[in-house]
Structure 1
């Protein structure tokens, strides 16, 4: 509004001058006219807002002061001829039912044709009123300065903390907060200073003088002066009475119910906080994702209850590596995550090796000894990404890459790794048509007689070459086949192809040759499985001893059903072997009960047999045990001459692995061994 008798330039000079003097105040300009009447010719926006008046036209000052402010204008006027000096008055204005006290600065100028008076209204909260509000608040209230020192507190605060006020005022506020919640409260203070507005914290644990923990709700209130937060009031409401149920909810929200460690929800929250700290300090972080190899098979074989006990035992070992800079979380089932703070590439690699080393010793569940290994994929913050979901996805890609190329190892993510997680559904649709499109094939790996060096048996291994995905590793497509149920159709196709090959060899006079076929748990548990094998033998007129069925330990959960099926197969004359022995249901009782011909030692015991005394001891024990029960032994994963020499020392009958030959197409087998 501009209703002044002053020239525009004089008016502008007045407003700019006094706005600089009183930037935070409500301001008013009053001018005297030729009839000695005083008019309000200017007010700022905060004045309009407080009095809820537009002031579109000039207003008679005496009426406004009497009606709206409850005082006389004359109290603020300087008489003509007086020496003009700025001075302050105090005024209380009732607005509706609330009293507001203002310091009023008054400056007059009589150098113009008519007197001009400038008034500034600054709201006042008296120290007495402030102290009364503090002391009579039933909730504890403490006031802290910008450096975090307690500078004031009310009676309720001294009561809950147990300190005398002079002792409490000397403390930094963080000393009253439990260790686990210091970062949370520090973040609240930082947000209050930054946003200049109240912030709430639903739950925070504080300690009293005796060290007892009290759970409080916290609200911060910034005390602002000249647009700067000078102090912060913290209102602390004791919610300990309600916190027991709240603790239960909190615990369930952030902890894994089976193992008691942090869950993925907790990881997401912790990552936000650690990421903020890492960004401020320029630190690196790492996420490593651990998956237990073959856990599903073991779980199926020993039952869910024992499987849960195994997971608890695994967590107990993993937790030995957890410290202030490395926290463990359970993502789901048999997947675990470590969040490593202030960790570079070398530290992360060393940590991953320590994790893998924890699986060297078997896990004991009741009387069972279970051997299990783990595979790990890792990512680095910020080089692999800064967002939690992106980093976790990349860690999963690295993990899948590891599992495709052999378990019990660790790899960092790199951009060339195939994202199989996105391709799962598409891959399944392609796999459904793989047989009709002639994309499946069988490669054969020879099993070498360690005594004579001769070869008269092979293991049939399935391969899939797809136009979209290329050569897909069995570790990728077999789980998809099992989960989708396609494993039954694919398993029948493999059995049929192997029987056709055996028939062809028999026609050519290669009578004493045997092929071993892997049988999935779902195949073996089919009601008519034994009859299906019988039909293949009759259809192709095979010597039953030329067909070996490799059964996994996880297929043998039901003793009665397993015994019935195995006895039917033995009556036909089929050879029965136990695949991956020692990685599943390692109970010795079934070896005595079931009609088993061959035990195959899992490659995890062979891989480092020449340098790990425990692996060597386990392998030798399995061989001696099998021989004492009248069974033969085949060692898998033989890759070195040292492996062969150790196995020969204990009379292991056969071995297979890259030391002798990779799995090769049937054409190569015929050319290498039957020509």
Structure 2
């Protein structure tokens, strides 16, 4: 039946039942018509020292449904019992409190305890008293937030229900406000926590954690991005928890749980949040267009209040997600190579530091620096796209080799870094064998096989070694030496390499001063034509004599000058000095000698060498046809700028010679393009050729090849009559070496020439 309320139009539904609630031993009234398990109830605490009041109250409220919930009564017969009940039942909504119990003001003291000591602000209090004279003052009712005051005689069932209805409605409003407040605090805290996460996956994991805390439920969740940073891949799972953890990192299309996949697709396509009894699909609109879809497996339905909080949370998360995604992209640019997606030098260095810090006892770590041999030729010959494809193939192969417990990075250009642990005695040799042998199988590049070889160096560190820059520097030193000593090798760093580098740096510091003080000079070695033993030319060779009379070897200071770039100015001086000497000999009637001058690749790469050569001719009066510029074979073959510069010099009238021929990797097609007039057989193939059949065969091949291409051939380093006899037999055109003369200063060379003429 329905009972009208006083004094407004609000109505209370009262369900009349024939069965009366029973007061159990723990003081809780369980109505015989109580709601089914799981239904939410209002907990009402009845505090009175009169058992009759408890029975009558229970009888009056039996089967009552207020604001969609049943009432559950908790009974206390003193202030102490009431306080204990409040502590053990935190969900109490209303207290029906007797003013006079063990003392005349026990009820009012109880009110003070509830508000001040227990700090329960949302609990509503209805005071009841059987003695009207003990009514509280108005200030007490106001200050302690008492909801209602009634004498027991006037508190009829209808008025009790009306008071309870009003108190419960107020309690519900206060609870909603408190929940909102706590929820907003939780959102602010969650946002701060999320913004501290410095990667996108970590940010998304934080979303799931904070959602569980916000909704106060255990959730299994999935976070997806619309594009996942790769628009060709589609939505990707950025984070997952609970029973879905195994799906982290997978594409949405690969999720086998159909109901999960369907819900997430609906959220992303329709851009809406979908609430279901068993699951929620939360849509978070990213300001930059990369939306998030969050799947939550609910343990219960999401109530309207929680939905409001989710909307506020989603708004905060959207901005944070955009920031996290931006930071993730910036981090990717800062730490990953965009071409190969390998870690770059900075990230490989950080990983090396971390791995070194974890080393214990005799554990070792090897850092390899690897450089592709002849990569520039591939990039120039087949194009940049082919070069990029080759770098990606190399990156993939190195990753396959060392991904298990190592790390691979791209340090720069065609240089890679490999970090690998050395657990056993044979691990070092195994890693070297893997690098040396791993690229013997041709790479498929543009549908055609292409052999790739690598030169490398490595350094080994143990526990306690924390200087990563020094480790990387040592590996680089060893790699540089491997490239200089023939390529296709992997060398271990040895302390002697650093000592050599220090010596070279010391030389570099002295070269400029030596040049300014005139410590450099030229010596000249004769070149003999075999068919008539005539002296046809000389090669200008640079020498450095210190003030104390000692000499510094050319093979020590020339590489140092090349590394430092000082060879550019030094080489210009050599060319001008040699031209000047050639002109002086021609005008002095000494002999019509051809002057050969070595040209460093740094002179061609770092400056406008044709302009330098033209200036030398103009300043000295030399004829270009009498000047032969020697370029090393490997540089002429690999560097397109060297080749084009050689063509320009040939067009200017200079003779071009290919020095150290046979030590490089020339192709016949490339050799035909060289604008050369002379090939110089490297001394390595001349030494002992009278009894070394392999050297003789190589020299024979070079002579025949040169003649077929219309080039003269000169052999360097001839020291014995037997070697010269073999060269005559092979029909080599010219020779140069100690057999005829060591390099001589100008005056001594002039004397040598005069003596030779007289002897003839």
TM-score (norm 1): 0.49
Structure with bigger strand share is: 1
Higher RCO (C-alpha 8 Å, min separation 6): 1
Rg: which structure is higher? 2
